[in-house]
């Protein structure tokens, strides 16, 4: 009898806790109706493109940081019905949409203020919507992915305007390739360094990485070239120094 009582208490606790978990989950879901509806597996078949946009966001830096659909698209994420949730939502083909090509920098800039302030210095931004549809944030970062696209994808968009026929700075494409290549190597070395060296040793290189990002988003490639070479040299020196030190202590 005593045993049975123990079992039923355990059972009761188990049922109660799964009920609470269920309640919490439901609350979390209904807090963002955009995600709740868009993640529906039925779209995989019904509307593949729509589903892919959801899939690109899922697990991205933005998802992890709690940035959701309405932060870039608008709309009301508390409404269950599509028509009400979409009420203020506009297609990217609508000029006033938050994600129309021309408005993308401003929308991203709400949160990425520093990058935005650099970008508006560029010749690309100044010509945006006037005569040039040069690159905007998603040309290189994808949407809503946050990694820089493969170098080859980025470069193929640049080549459209910067080539020998247009004679608009055709050398820029090679320069962009070199900088992106150095940044790739630097990112690997930075990752290694942050695991093996104390933070105080990395202040200089972290600052330099930020400087490159600033120059890059201004499309000031003269500076970005110089800074990316400098960063690579500094990181290689740190790497060599750390190895020497490791050998000595062995
Ligand atoms: C109940 C389901 C449902 C909810 C809730 C919902 N959507 Fe949608 N959404 C859809 C469907 C279905 C489509 C495909 C086009 C259509 O049927 O209107 C769509 C299309 C879209 C598109 C592309 C539209 C276009 O015109 O190109 C965007 C962007 C979008 N939704 C964002 C959002 C955002 C942001 C929210 C929350 C504020 C949201 N959705 C809430 C079902 C939903
Ligand atoms: C970081 C900003 C950002 C977030 C977060 C974001 N989007 Fe988008 N989305 C954009 C931008 C910019 C575009 C327009 C450019 C493009 O089509 O790639 C877009 C385009 C779309 C489109 C294509 C519309 C069309 O008609 O071509 C759909 C569908 C969409 N987003 C759905 C979603 C859904 C669903 C979520 C949340 C799960 C979401 N987006 C989260 C920025 C974002
Ligand atoms: C509502 C705020 C918000 C908006 C709008 C937004 N982001 Fe973000 N973004 C964040 C946060 C928060 C993070 C994660 C923390 C961080 O790295 O800054 C992030 C991360 C990123 C990263 C990775 C940063 C890194 O250090 O690796 C990139 C790239 C990025 N966002 C690009 C964009 C682009 C492009 C858009 C527009 C299409 C956009 N973001 C719109 C808030 C936002
Ligand atoms: C021509 C390609 C290109 C364009 C256009 C571009 N970026 Fe970047 N972005 C890069 C590269 C390259 C890096 C540096 C490598 C990295 O951090 O992944 C970077 C880094 C970033 C970072 C992380 C570093 C930092 O300084 O915070 C954010 C956030 C970001 N970009 C947001 C944006 C936003 C917002 C826009 C539009 C206003 C934009 N980018 C336009 C290529 C681009
Ligand atoms: C739709 C056309 C177009 C595309 C695509 C384009 N650009 Fe440009 N770019 C221009 C124009 C126009 C200028 C201004 C030229 C001038 O006034 O000297 C420019 C200027 C620049 C400059 C500054 C040159 C200087 O000396 O000030 C750089 C750097 C640059 N682009 C890099 C890129 C990169 C990298 C890409 C690809 C991610 C790219 N561009 C894609 C049209 C484009």
* 55 ligand 4 Cβ < 6 A: no
59 CA to centre of ligand 3 in angstroms: 13
| pLDDT average, residue stretch 79-89 | 89
* 54 ligand 4 Cβ < 6 A: no
Cα separation, 76 vs 229, whole angstroms: 47
Cα separation, 249 vs 238, whole angstroms: 17
Identify which has the larger pLDDT, 27 or 126: 126
Cβ distance 211 to 237 under 8 Å? no
Question: Which ligand has its closest atom nearest to the C-alpha of 223?
Answer: 5
| pLDDT average, residue stretch 134-148 | 85
33 CA to centre of ligand 1 in angstroms: 10
8-43 confidence digits (pLDDT tens): 655 555 555 555 544 444 444 447 999 999 999 999
Q: If 0-12 CB within 10 Å is exposed, 13-18 middle and 19+ buried, where does residue 60 land?
A: middle
Domain spans in the chain, listed from the N-terminal domain onward = 2-85, 148-249
Q: What is the 3-state secondary structure (H, E, C) of 185-226?
A: HHHHHHHHHHHHCCHHHHHHHHHHHHHHHHHHHCCCHHHHHH
Rg (CA), the chain: 25
| pLDDT average, residue stretch 173-191 | 95
pTM, rounded to two decimals: 0.89
Q: Provide the pLDDT for residue 2.
A: 46
Q: Provide the pLDDT for residue 30.
A: 47
* 43 ligand 2 Cβ < 6 A: no
Best-predicted range by mean pLDDT (2-6, 12-16, 127-131, 217-221): 217-221
pLDDT at 247 over 90: no
Question: Which structure tokens are listed for 123?
Answer: 């010749």
Question: Which ligand has its closest atom nearest to the C-alpha of 40?
Answer: 1
148-158 confidence digits (pLDDT tens): 888 998 999 99
| pLDDT average, residue stretch 179-186 | 96
């Amino acid at each position: 009898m005593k045993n049975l009582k123990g079992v039923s208490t355990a059972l009761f606790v188990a049922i109660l806790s799964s009920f609470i978990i269920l309640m919490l989950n439901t609350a979390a879901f209904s807090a963002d109706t955009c995600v709740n509806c868009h993640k529906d597996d039925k779209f995989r078949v019904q509307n593949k493109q729509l589903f892919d946009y959801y899939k690109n966001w899922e697990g991205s830096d933005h998802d992890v940081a709690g940035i959701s659909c309405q932060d870039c698209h608008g709309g009301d994420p508390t409404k269950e019905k599509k028509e009400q949730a979409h009420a203020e939502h506009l297609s990217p083909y609508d000029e006033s949409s938050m994600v129309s090509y021309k408005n993308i920098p401003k929308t991203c800039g709400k949160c990425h203020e520093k990058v935005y302030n650099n970008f508006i210095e560029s010749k690309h931004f100044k010509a945006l919507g006037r005569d040039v549809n040069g690159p905007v944030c998603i040309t290189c970062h994808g949407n809503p992915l946050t990694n820089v696209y493969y170098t080859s994808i980025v470069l193929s968009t640049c080549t459209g305007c910067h080539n020998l026929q247009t004679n608009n700075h055709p050398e820029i494409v090679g320069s962009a390739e070199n900088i992106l290549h150095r940044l790739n190597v630097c990112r690997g070395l930075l990752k290694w360094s942050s695991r093996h060296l104390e933070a105080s040793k990395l202040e200089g290189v972290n600052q330099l990485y930020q400087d490159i990002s600033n120059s890059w988003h201004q499309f000031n490639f003269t500076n970005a070239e110089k800074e990316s070479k400098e960063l690579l040299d500094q990181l290689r020196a740190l790497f060599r120094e750390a190895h020497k030190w490791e050998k000595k202590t062995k």
